[in-house]
Structure 1
Amino acid sequence: MKLSRTLAAAAMLGTALISQASAEDILSVEKTYKEIETTFGGIPGFMKVYPKGAIAGMWQVTKNFEMSDKTALDPKTKALIGVAVAAQIPCRYCIWLDTKTAKQQGASDAEIAEAVTVAAMTRHWSTVLNGMQIDFETFKSEFGGGS
Structure 2
Amino acid sequence: MEETFGQVPGYMQLLAEPASDHSWGIFRDLLLGETELSPREKALMGVSAAAAIQCPYCTYFHKEEARFADVSEDELEEAVTLASTTRYFSTLLHGNEYEHDAFDAETDEIFEHLREQQEAAADD
TM-score (norm 1): 0.68
- Residues 130 and 51 (structure 1 numbering): CA distance in 2 closer, same or farther, change over 3 Å? same
One-letter code of the match for 1:138?
A
Q: Secondary structure at the match of 2:18?
A: helix
Match of 1:120 in 2: 84
Corresponding residue to 1:98 among 32, 57, 62 = 62
1:38 deviation in Å? 1.7
Instruction: Give 1:71's match in structure 2, choosing from 35, 42, 48.
Output: 35
Q: Unpaired runs of 5+ in structure 1?
A: 1-35
Structure 2 counterpart of 1:39: 4
Moved over 4 A (4+): none
Give 1:130's aligned amino acid. H
C-alpha root-mean-square deviation of aligned residues, in Å?
A: 1.8
Please tell me whether residue 59 in structure 1 is matched to residue 24 in structure 2.
yes
Which residue of structure 1 aligns with residue 101 of structure 2?
137
SS of alignment partner, residue 52 of structure 1: coil
Residue segments in structure 2 that go unaligned for 5+ positions in a row: 112-124
| Number of residue-to-residue matches in the alignment | 110
Select 1:84's aligned residue among 48, 54, 73: 48
Identity %: 35
Match of 1:9 in 2: none
The residue type paired with residue 11 of structure 2 is F
Letter in 1 for 2:53: I
Query: Per-residue displacement from partner, 1:86-115 (whole Å, max 9, x unpaired)?
Result: 111111000001100111011111111111
* Letter paired with 1:84: S
Deviates more, 1:119-128 or 1:130-139: 130-139
What is the Cα deviation at residue 145 of structure 1? Answer: 7.6
* TM-score in terms of structure 2 length: 0.79
Aligned-partner residue type, residue 41 of structure 1: G
